[in-house]
């Protein structure tokens, strides 16, 4: 099956795959060939794609939608980056900055919660990648 990841700027990935794990808004979902048609909201987190060669390719994605139809898994997301390109110190600093922001206005509460959730997901994936590369 073909896995395609598109952001507003470009097509980030177009790869044949045997298994895809999606970070949905309400949990993870695994997709195998011949999956039932699906449209779902993406959350922030790790997208894992197993290629036809058995190689696992992790990406960090942040929101959007996924459509599974026929032999295609198409993700439309605002942000996608190979997970190994995440910078852990930057991600942790961004989370600390967001946690220190004390703007508690009701109008911004939902936006702040989403930003915090995205920052936490980015740190989680960056830590996982750091652990994989350092043998921890």
Judge whether residue 11 has pLDDT over 60. yes
- Higher pLDDT: 28 or 105? It is 28
Residue 59 pLDDT = 97
96 & 56 share domain: no
At 134, the pLDDT band (50, 70, 90 cuts) reads very low
Instruction: State the burial class of residue 59 (Cβ atoms within 10 Å of its Cβ: 0-12, 13-18, 19+).
Output: buried
Reported as a pLDDT band with limits 50, 70 and 90, residue 133 is low
Both 8 and 62 in a single domain? Answer: yes
Neighbouring residues of 49: CB distance < 8 A, sequence distance ≥ 6: 3, 13, 15, 17, 19, 20, 21, 56, 57, 58, 59
pLDDT, mean of residues 110-134: 83
Domain, as residue range, for 54? 2-83
Same domain, 106 and 71: no
Both 51 and 8 in a single domain? yes
Query: Both 31 and 71 in a single domain?
Result: yes
């Amino acid at each position: 099956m073909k896995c395609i990841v598109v952001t507003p700027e470009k097509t980030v990935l177009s790869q044949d795959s045997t298994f895809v794990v999606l970070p949905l808004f309400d949990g993870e979902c695994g997709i195998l060939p011949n999956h039932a048609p699906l449209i779902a909201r993406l959350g922030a987190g790790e997208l894992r794609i197993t290629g036809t060669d058995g190689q696992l390719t992790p990406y960090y994605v942040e929101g959007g939608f996924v459509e599974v139809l026929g032999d295609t898994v198409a993700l439309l997301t605002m942000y996608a980056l190979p997970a190994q390109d995440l910078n852990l110190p930057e991600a942790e600093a961004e989370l600390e900055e967001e946690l220190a922001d004390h703007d508690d206005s009701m109008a911004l509460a939902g936006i702040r919660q989403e930003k915090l959730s995205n920052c936490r997901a980015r740190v989680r994936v960056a830590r996982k990648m750091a652990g994989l590369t350092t043998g921890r």
